[in-house]
Amino acid sequence: MTDYITVADVDTLLGPGWAGTGDPVLAVTMANAWLTAKIKRPVADPTPEAIKLAGAQVAKEAAMGNLYKATQKEVLSKTVSATSGTSVSKTYAQGSTDLSAGENFALALLEPWTKRSGVMMLKRI
């Protein structure tokens, strides 16, 4: 995992008290893990302000418990038969969660770093 932001960075960007009752260190750790999973290109040193701002938004969401939420299976279809020997069948999809406003904003800020750079050429031998 790459450390893109620190608690001090988030304090500077969002002001003290951004974590509310949440743990700021854990929130920043979760934000760095989230950023590491999303960023696909090399990032210049020092970390660009857009990435720090995105990380701050995600850290705030993590402090509120809105990042890495538990997922549930969603029902795609359900069939119930009312005849004798009643049968029920359900088809489940892989769980998904709604993205918060902070996550959507962070993804927009990270757009230049979320796509792989360059073109891969394949040659048949």
pLDDT tens digit sequence for 70-98: 655 566 666 666 677 667 766 655 555 66
Q: What percent of the chain has pLDDT over 90?
A: 38
Q: Is the pTM of the predicted complex or chain greater than 0.75?
A: no
What pLDDT was estimated at residue 111?
A: 77
| CA 99/CA 107 separation, integer angstroms | 10
Measuring CA to CA, how many Å separate 75 from each of 26, 71, 81, 88, 89?
Answer: 33, 13, 17, 13, 10
| CA 97/CA 38 separation, integer angstroms | 17
What pLDDT was estimated at residue 112?
A: 73
| CA 81/CA 49 separation, integer angstroms | 58
What pLDDT was estimated at residue 113?
A: 72
Q: Name the CA dihedral angle for 110, 11, 69, 101, rounded to a multiple of 10 degrees.
A: -50
- The closest alpha carbon to 75, from 58, 88, 65, belongs to 88
| CA 68/CA 59 separation, integer angstroms | 11
Q: Which residue has the higher pLDDT, 95 or 29?
A: 29
**Backbone dihedral angles phi then psi of residue 73, each to the nearest 5 degrees:** -75, 135
